[in-house]
Amino acid sequence: MSQKARIAQGGRIDRSRTIRFTFDGKSYAGHPGDTLASALLANDVHLVGRSFKYHRPRGFLSAGAEEPNALVQIEMGNGRSDPNFKATQVELFDGLVALSQNRKGSLRYDRTAVNDRLAAFLPAGFYYKTFKWPASFWTKVYEPRIREAAGLGKAPTEPDPDHYLHRHVWTDVLVVGGGPAGIAAALAAARTGARVILCDEQPELGGSLLSESGRGVTVDEVAPQEWLARARAELSQHPELTVLTRTTCFGYYDHNYLGLLEKVTDHLKDAPAELPRQRLWRVRAKQVVIAAGAIERPLVFPDNDRPGIMLASAARTYLNRYGVLVGREVVVCTSDDSAYDAALDLHAAGAKVTVVDQRQTPIGERVVQAQTAGITILRGRGPVGSHGRFRVSQVHVQALDEAGRPILGQVQPLNCDALLMCGGWNPTVHLFSQSRGKVRYDDGLASFVPGRGHQPERSAGACGGSFGLGAALAEGLVAGTEAARAAGFEAFDTPPPAVAEPVAGPHQPVWLLQGDRPGARAWVDFQNDVTAKDLKLANREGFRSIEHVKRYTTNGMATDQGKTSNVTGLAIVAENLAVPIPSVGTTTFRPPYTPTTFGAFAGINKGDLFDPIRRTPMHGWAERKGAVFEDVGLWKRAWYFPKNGEDMHAAVDRECKAVRDGVGIFDATTLGKIDIQGADAAEFLNRIYTNAWSKLGLGKCRYGLMLREDGMVFDDGVTSRIGEHHYHMTTTTGGAPTVLAWMESWLQTEWPELKVYLTSVTEQWAVIALQGPKAREVLQSVVTRGDVSRDAFPHLSVIEAEIAGVPGRIFRISFTGELGYEVNVPASYGEIVMDALFRAGQPHGITPYGTEAMHVLRAEKGYIIVGQETDGTVTPADLGMGWAVSKQKDFLGKRSLSRPDMLRPDRKQLVGLLPVDPKIVLDEGAQLLETAKVEIPAKMIGHVTSSYHSANLGRSFALALLAGGQARHGQRLWASHGQGTVEVEVTAPLFIDPEGTRLNG
C-alpha cells in the first residue's frame, strides 16, 4: 500500500527496508525508525481513537509522551496484550498488531458515540448527582454500567510471559533528558571524571535536534545535526558515563532517589529470551540535572479536537524526523514564534501554508523569514471553530482585540486538511515538583517554571524556561559542571558553543477563544473530554481549589496527567474566579510521569517469588521426622508430627502430653531477633517497653510489652542483656520486620540523640526450644561448656555456652509453663545441634512438637499471642498484665492508658472459658452472649480468641476477650456454636500450674 503522506526523501527512518503492521485489522507499511503514529500518518490515517466520555473522533495531537488521544492496545501474542500505549511512543517493528480503544463497533462507526449527542445531559460531575436514586438501582443498574464503561483499553487476561529486572545503582550525577541541554550537562560532568548516567526516553539522543531542519541555525558554525554527531561521539569515549536510551525517568523521590524505566525489547519482534522486556533502574544520585524539555500548549477554541488538529511542533517532528507531511493545505494558528519553524518547514516540503497569528504585530525573525518565503500571515486573528468529522476540513478565524478576545464581525473560513496550533510552551516541571521543589509562575512565558529547590538538583534548558538552543546548551554546560563540582570533583567552567539562531519575538497568551456559535465546546483536556464550560460549571458550583476542580471535572487525570491541559485549565479557572493565575496554584504532579507497566514494578517478584518461602535451618530435619507444615507469614513451620496414621488431634495430644510429662523439642527459629547495641540501649528499651529496663543485670532476661501511642498492645517478647551496652530482643514471628521498622522510625525521627544501633539477626540464629521437666537432663548431656544447673542458671537468664561443641547462647525461657530452654546457635549449625539434642533425649522419650501443640501448651498457661489475644484495641490491663506496666517511668503509650475510656470497667478483658460440655471445642471468633437464645440484633459481649482440646486437662478450654471479664469469673454465659449456642463457664485465663512450680523446676 502506498504511503501517500510520506515525502520522497528526508527524515531519520531507514527507507531501505519496508515493514508491515496492522491497525484495527488493516495492513499498512512503514519503515524502521518509524513510530506507530508516524507510520499511520504516512498512510494518511488520522482517525485513531475515541475520547473517554463522549466517544468523539480523535486524532494525533502530539508526537511524544504528552499524547492524550492516540492510545492503542498492542497485541504481541502468547498472552501479551498491553492497553493504553501511546502510538507516538510505540516503535514500529515488523508484524506489529495495534488496536484502537474505547469503542463499540468499528472506530469509524462507534455505537457509543451517541454519548456525544447526549452531552447536554452529561456535564461535569453528572455522576455525583445522578446515581443516587432509587437505591436498589445501584447494584442492578448503575454499578454494572459504570464498571462496563470505566477504563480505556482492555486489561490482559493471561499471565504475562515476559520477565522484568530491577537494577539498583549509585551515581555521582544523573542527567534526565537527552536533548541539547542534557547532552551538554552530561559532557560537562563526564569531563571531570564523575560517574554519570544520562537517560532519555527516545531511541537515540538528540531531543529537539532530531526534529530540527537546520534552517538558519548553526552551532560553532556547523549544522545542529553535525554538532549532535560530534557530541554523541564524545559521550561514547567517557568510561564513567552510562547512556540509557528508551529510558523514562518516571519518578523523583526523597534523598535523590529516582526511578527509571528502560524498555529493553519492546521494539523488537523476536526478542532474545535471555533479555528482560523492561528494566527498572532504582538510582540514588549525589546530584541530578533535569533537562526534560517543554511541552507545547494547545489552543482552546470551539471544536478544537478534530482529527488533523495537532501541535505545530508535532507536525515539524513528523516531517523532519519521519519524512511525513501531515497535510497539503495547512493552517498554523499561533501566539508564539516557534510555530513559524513548522510553517517554514512544511512550506519548504510543498504544503500550502497559512499562518493565523493571534498577536497584532508579531516581530520575530522567524516571522520575517515566513514573509520572505511567501507564506500568508493573518495577524491579530484567531481560530473560533472548525469543520470536519473524521478529519478537519475547515477552520474559522476571526479578528481579535488587543486582549485576544474575538471582535464581533465576519468569520473567515479557511480550508485545510491539517490545523497546527501553538499556544506557547510549558516547561516540564513534573520531576522538579516531585522532588518537592516549589514552582513559580513566569508572566513572560505564561507558565510555571522551577523555583526554590529542595533536593540536590538543578534544571537546565526548556524545562527551566529557556527555549532557545543557545541558552539550552549554555545552561546544560553550567548545570553539568556545577553538579560534578557539588559531587566532589574538580570542574572547570566550559565556554558554551557559539549558536546562531533566529531571535524570537514576545509571546502573547490567549487562554480561551470563544466563538459565536451557541453550544460550541472548546476542549481543554482531550483525553477526558473536559471543556472550558465544564471548568466554569465547577467554579459556579462552588469549587475553588484547583484540586477539587480537577476531581470534579477530571481535567488532568488518567494517563495524560495534565501534560497538555493543566496550565490552560489553571488559567481558565483563574479567569473564572477573577484572580491571578499563581494564586490558583497547581495540581500535584504524581509519579509515574508516564504510564509504567505493573510487570516492571513487580520485577522478578511474581509467581513462586512473589511470596518467597522461608525455611528454617532445621526444616530438613523436621521433614525427615514426618512433619506436616503450615504457612506462618512467609515461613514454613512444622505444624505437627503424626505417627502411625495419627490425625492432627491425636498427634497434638501426644505432643502436649510429652512436653508436660517428659521433654519436647521445638524449632523456634522464626522468632524475630533484633540485636541492640549502644551506650543508650537501656534508655531506649525503657522508652519502648512498658516496664523498667535500666537495672536489668548482665546475663538476665525480661519479658516486656510494647504499646502504640494510643496505648494498645503492639508486640511482646523477651529481651536479654548480653553485655554492658548489648541486648538481644525477641519479637513475635510475624511482627519482626514491623517492630524493627517502628523502632528505627523512633530513633531516626524522634530520638536521634540516642546512641543506639539496631540490626535484624533473625536469620543469623537457629533457635531450638527444649521444654519439659526432663529438659535440663537432656541439655546437660550436650553442653560442652557452661553451667546449666538449677542454682547456676535460674529462670530468665542467659549464658554463653557450647552445645555439642558449637558456640552459642542458652536462654532459660519458657513459652509452655514448663522448665524450658531456648538454645541459640549460628544458623548453619542448627540441624547439627538439633540432631545432637534429639539423640541425647532418646533415653528420656524426647518428642518433636509443632506449632499446634505450642499453641495449646501456651494457652493452658494463659500466655498470649499478639494478634490472636490482641486486635489493636487491647491494653495491658485488659490482658491482666498491669504488673508489666511501670508507674514510675515514661514510655510510649503511657499517657493514653490514663484516658477515661481505658479505665472503663466494662472493657473487653482476657478470661478463660470452660465449655460445660467438655467435648465441645468452641470456634475461634465465636461470639459470647448473656442468654442462650440468639436474638436479632444480639447483644454480643465478647469473643473467643483461642480454643483447643487439651489432653493434659482432659477437656476443651478457651481464652476470650469479655466485657468486664475480670469481674465475671465463675459466671455462666453462652457462646455461639454452629446454628445455636453452648453454655460456658468464665474462669481465670490460667489452667495449668498456677503456682509456677513447673516453670522454676
More confident residue, 589 or 659: 659
Cα(1000)–Cα(998) distance, rounded to whole angstroms? 5
CB 197 within 8 Å of CB 242: yes
CB 948 within 8 Å of CB 855: yes
Q: What is the length of the chain?
A: 1001
Which residues lie closer than 8 Å to 233 by C-beta, 6 or more apart?
none
Q: In this predicted model, what pLDDT tens digit does every residue of 356-408 receive, in sequence order?
A: 999 999 988 999 999 999 999 999 999 999 999 999 999 999 999 877 778 87
Which contiguous run of DSSP H or E holds residue 365? helix 365-372
Distances (CA, A) of 942 to 385, 908, 913, 939, 959: 70, 7, 12, 9, 11
Which residues lie closer than 8 Å to 133 by C-beta, 6 or more apart?
none
> What is the grid cell recorded at 794?
535460674
Distances (CA, A) of 972 to 637, 695, 912, 982: 37, 44, 12, 10
Dump the DSSP string for 764-790: TEEEEEEESTTHHHHHHTTEEES---T
Q: Using only C-alpha atoms, what is the Rg of the chain?
A: 36
> Residue 697 class from Cβ within 10 Å (0-12 exposed, 13-18 middle, 19+ buried)?
exposed
Query: For residue 330, is pLDDT > 60?
Result: yes
Least confident of 16-20, 141-145, 383-387, 690-694: 141-145
> Residue 78 class from Cβ within 10 Å (0-12 exposed, 13-18 middle, 19+ buried)?
exposed
Query: For residue 589, is pLDDT > 70?
Result: yes
Dump the DSSP string for 671-721: SEEEEEESTTHHHHHHHHBSS--TTPPTTBEEEEEEE-TTS-EEEEEEEEE
pLDDT band at 926 (very low <50, low <70, confident <90, very high): very high
Query: For residue 145, is pLDDT > 90?
Result: no
Report strand pairing: 820-826 vs 806-811. antiparallel
Cα(442)–Cα(567) distance, rounded to whole angstroms? 12
Reference 986, options 934, 932, 909; nearest CA is: 909
Beta bridge partners of 458: 289
Which residues lie closer than 8 Å to 477 by C-beta, 6 or more apart?
184, 185, 187, 188, 494, 496
> Among all chains, which residue has been given the C-alpha cell 553539568?
480
Q: Is the peptide bond before 413 cis (omega within 30 degrees of 0)?
A: no
> Among all chains, which residue has been given the C-alpha cell 474505547?
102
Residue type, 724: E
Dump the DSSP string for 321-350: TT-B---SEEEEEESSTTHHHHHHHHHHTT
Reference 158, options 219, 257, 81; nearest CA is: 81
> What is the grid cell recorded at 232?
554523541
> Among all chains, which residue has been given the C-alpha cell 522508652?
687
Mean pLDDT of 692-696: 94
Distances (CA, A) of 947 to 821, 855, 960: 26, 9, 9
pLDDT value for 710: 96
Residue 167 CA from chain centroid, whole number: 17
pLDDT value for 516: 64
Angle between helices 736-749 and 681-688 (to 10 degrees): 110
Cα(266)–Cα(383) distance, rounded to whole angstroms? 40
**Percent of the chain surpassing pLDDT 90:** 83
Q: In this predicted model, what pLDDT tens digit does every residue of 772-829 receive, in sequence order?
A: 999 999 999 999 999 999 999 999 999 999 999 999 999 999 999 999 999 999 999 9
CB 227 within 8 Å of CB 219: yes
Cα dihedral 898, 901, 903, 909 sign: negative
> Among all chains, which residue has been given the C-alpha cell 512498658?
690
pLDDT band at 123 (very low <50, low <70, confident <90, very high): confident
Q: In this predicted model, what pLDDT tens digit does every residue of 594-631 receive, in sequence order?
A: 888 899 999 998 888 888 899 999 999 999 999 999 99
> What is the grid cell recorded at 109?
462507526
Count CB atoms within 10 A of the CB of residue 178.
28
Reference 87, options 64, 111, 70; nearest CA is: 70
CB 453 within 8 Å of CB 289: no
Cα(987)–Cα(991) distance, rounded to whole angstroms? 9
Cα(363)–Cα(361) distance, rounded to whole angstroms? 6
Q: Using CA atoms in the order 288, 293, 294, 295, what is the torsion angle rounded to 10 degrees?
A: -110
Average pLDDT of every residue of the chain: 93
Cα(176)–Cα(185) distance, rounded to whole angstroms? 10
Mean pLDDT of 194-218: 94
Q: In this predicted model, what pLDDT tens digit does every residue of 492-537 receive, in sequence order?
A: 888 999 999 999 999 999 999 987 676 789 999 998 899 999 999 9
Cα(359)–Cα(404) distance, rounded to whole angstroms? 8
Beta strand segments in 487-526, E: 499-500, 523-525
CB 408 within 8 Å of CB 516: yes
Query: For residue 841, is pLDDT > 80?
Result: yes
Mean pLDDT of 942-957: 97
Reference 523, options 69, 84, 106; nearest CA is: 69
Q: Using CA atoms in the order 217, 222, 223, 227, what is the torsion angle rounded to 10 degrees?
A: -110
pLDDT value for 494: 86
Maximum separation of any 2 CA atoms in the chain, in Å:
110
Phi, psi for residue 140 in degrees, rounded to 5:
-95, -30
Residue type, 703: Y
Q: Which residues of 869-884 are buried (b: 16+ CB within 10 A; e: fewer)?
A: bbeeebbbbbbbbeeb
Distances (CA, A) of 51 to 59, 112, 443, 521, 780: 10, 10, 32, 14, 79
Residue 703 CA from chain centroid, whole number: 38
More confident residue, 930 or 136: 930
Residue type, 174: L
Beta bridge partners of 171: 285
Residue 392 CA from chain centroid, whole number: 40
pTM (two decimals): 0.81
Which contiguous run of DSSP H or E holds residue 532? helix 532-540
Beta bridge partners of 149: none
**Percent of the chain surpassing pLDDT 70:** 99
Count CB atoms within 10 A of the CB of residue 749.
8
> What is the grid cell recorded at 15?
527507507
Residue type, 294: A
